[in-house]
């Protein structure tokens, strides 16, 4: 299959949007930018179209998709019960990087929800995404547009690396602004529970709802406590080389990573190091990449997946990363980094 790349880096082009919408309406796949990461879109109400997403990504079929909408009223057709919290969160954060789990209506096929009776709904804040959703029938199922297990794409080039020849079209809107997937909050169980941390933090949710818990399965050491979002149990975002997070005081971390990098070189390998602007010059014997300044957490979030992809191309034998506990997005950044590392942490 030839994958058409539509350039919309200078803004929405309606001719391209119409072609993309037609592809969705006839059951095809179109990747598109959102403010978080690029999504791989299909008509969410068409089970065959959703099934194509799973095949294109190599995604396990029990891992449900997020349904993207462009206006609040669209929520009524795909849910059976709209709790007051949903409206409060929509008023505060939609369009934006927040996904809500609600009870699904019969209009949403099980092929889209991975067999669940709940549906994930999000209204993205990106003009290309909004135009595409409207042109494609109003309901676009879209996981991140990466091959399952690879870092989520933050540019159209990343999408092409994974999906060229596999999907019908890619809409290029340039680099995304946030770089990590949306916050997911479950509203089906009484107390709102965060199933995946993101740009919208626990504090921000609490300010609107009064209460919001973090899913215990995200942080529990107990292997019998599973994350509630099926996708969070997989080792997502995995770079090809093993990744270790090194935690401790700045001085100890630098000393430890330098010692590990030197040992790696001795053994004939090459270590990659994920550092911050503040420490990038402290390392030797390694391929060092800065993720950005510790004062600018959005820059750190924006660069994480790109750096993991760059290390994949460089053929490093191991990657050591500093840890990035920033105020608003720290939980999201460390959640993704921990998953990429398969929870391998070296404490110094």
- Contact residues for ligand TXA, defined by CB under 6 A: 34, 36-37, 39, 63-66, 99, 101, 113, 116, 118-120, 122, 124, 142-144, 181-182, 184, 195-196, 228-232
Binds 102, which of ligand TXA, Mg ion, none (CB < 5 to 8 A, cut-off by type)?
A: none
Q: Which residue is nearest to ligand TXA (CB)?
A: 231
Cβ 260 vs Cβ 335: under 8 Å:
no
- Strand segments, DSSP code E, in the chain are 4-7, 30-32, 39-43, 66-68, 98-103, 118-122, 140-141, 169-172, 183-186, 193-196, 213-214, 243-247, 271-275, 286-290, 318-321, 345-347
Residue 116, both tokens: 């669940």
Nearer to ligand TXA, 289 or 336 (CB): 336
Preceding peptide of 258 cis, ω within 30°: no
* Helices 297-314 and 330-340, packing angle to 10 deg: 10
State which residue, 85 or 162, has the beta carbon closest to Mg ion.
Answer: 162
Shortest CB 246 distance to ligand TXA, Å: 27
CB of 308 to ligand TXA, least distance (A): 15
Q: Which parts of 125-154 interact with Mg ion (CB under 5 A)?
A: 144
- Cβ proximity to ligand TXA, 195 vs 245, nearer residue: 195
* Residue 321 lies near Mg ion (rule: CB under 5 A): no
Indicate which of Mg ion, ligand TXA, none lies near residue 230 (CB less than 5 to 8 Å, by partner kind). Answer: ligand TXA
Q: Is 300 strand, coil or helix? A: helix
Q: What is the dihedral of CA 180, 186, 187, 190, to 10 degrees?
A: -140
**Binding partner at 256 among Mg ion, ligand TXA, none, C-beta below 5 to 8 Å by kind:** none
Q: Nearest approach, Cβ of 144 to Mg ion (angstroms)?
A: 3
**Alpha-carbon distance 137 to 219, whole Å?**
38
Which residues are CB-contacts of 219 (< 8 A; sequence separation ≥ 6)? Answer: none
Taking the complex as a whole, how short is the minimal distance between the CB of residue 236 and Mg ion, in angstroms? 6
User: Which CB sits closer to ligand TXA, 44 or 318?
Assistant: 44
Residue closer to Mg ion, measured from CB, 180 or 329: 180
Nearer to Mg ion, 43 or 182 (CB): 182
Residue 137 DSSP one-character state: T
How many residues sit close enough to Mg ion to count as binding (CB under 5 A)?
Answer: 1
The two tokens of residue 74 are 């669209």
- Name the residue nearer to Mg ion (CB basis): 36 or 144: 144
Would you say 28 and 42 are in contact if contact means Cβ atoms under 8 Å apart?
A: yes
Between CA 88 and CA 101 the distance in angstroms is: 14
| Binding at 142: pick from ligand TXA, Mg ion, none (beta carbon under 5-8 Å per type) | ligand TXA
Cα–Cα distance, 161 to 241 (Å, whole number): 18
In whole angstroms, the minimum distance from the beta carbon of 285 to Mg ion comes to 34
CA 92 – CA 248 distance, rounded (Å): 37
As measured in angstroms, the least distance from the Cβ of 208 to Mg ion is 25
- With respect to Mg ion, which residue has the nearer C-beta, 74 or 238? 238
Shortest Cβ 174–Mg ion spacing (Å): 20
Whether the Cβ atoms of residue 141 and residue 53 lie closer than 8 Å to each other: yes
CB 2 within 8 A of CB 100: no
176 contact choice in Mg ion, ligand TXA, none (CB below 5 to 8 Å, kind-dependent):
none
Residues binding Mg ion (CB under 5 A): 144
């Amino acid at each position: 299959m030839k994958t058409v790349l539509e350039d919309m880096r200078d803004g929405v082009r309606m001719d391209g949007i119409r072609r993309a919408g037609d592809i969705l309406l006839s059951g095809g796949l179109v990747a598109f930018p959102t403010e978080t990461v690029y999504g791989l879109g299909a008509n969410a109400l068409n089970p065959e179209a959703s099934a194509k997403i799973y095949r294109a990504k190599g995604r396990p079929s029990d891992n449900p998709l997020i349904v993207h909408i462009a206006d609040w009223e669209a929520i009524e057709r795909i849910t059976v019960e709209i709790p007051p919290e949903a409206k409060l969160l929509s008023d505060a954060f939609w369009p934006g990087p927040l996904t809500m789990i609600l009870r699904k209506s019969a209009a949403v096929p099980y092929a889209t929800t991975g067999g669940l009776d709940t549906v994930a709904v999000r209204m993205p804040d990106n003009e290309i995404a909004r135009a595409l959703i409207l042109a494609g029938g109003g309901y676009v199922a879209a996981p991140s547009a990466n091959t399952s297990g690879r870092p989520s794409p933050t540019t159209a080039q990343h999408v092409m690396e994974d999906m060229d020849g596999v999907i019908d079209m890619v809409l290029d809107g340039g680099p995304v602004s946030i770089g990590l997937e949306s916050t997911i909050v479950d509203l089906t169980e009484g107390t709102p529970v965060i199933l995946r941390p993101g740009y919208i933090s626990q504090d921000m949710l609490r300010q609107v709802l009064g209460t919001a818990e973090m899913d215990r399965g995200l942080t529990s050491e107990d292997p019998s406590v599973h994350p509630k979002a099926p996708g969070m149990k997989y080792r997502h975002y995995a770079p090809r080389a093993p990744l270790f997070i090194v935690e401790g005081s700045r001085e100890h971390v630098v000393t430890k990573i330098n010692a590990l990098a030197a040992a790696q070189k001795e053994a004939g390998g090459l270590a990659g190091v994920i550092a911050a602007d503040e420490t990038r010059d402290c390392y030797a014997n390694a391929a060092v990449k800065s993720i950005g300044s510790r004062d600018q957490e959005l820059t750190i979030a924006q660069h994480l997946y790109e750096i993991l992809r760059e290390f994949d191309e460089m053929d490093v034998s191991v990657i050591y990363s500093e840890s990035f506990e920033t105020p608003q997005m720290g939980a999201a950044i460390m959640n993704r980094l921990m998953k990429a590392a398969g929870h391998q942490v070296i404490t110094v």
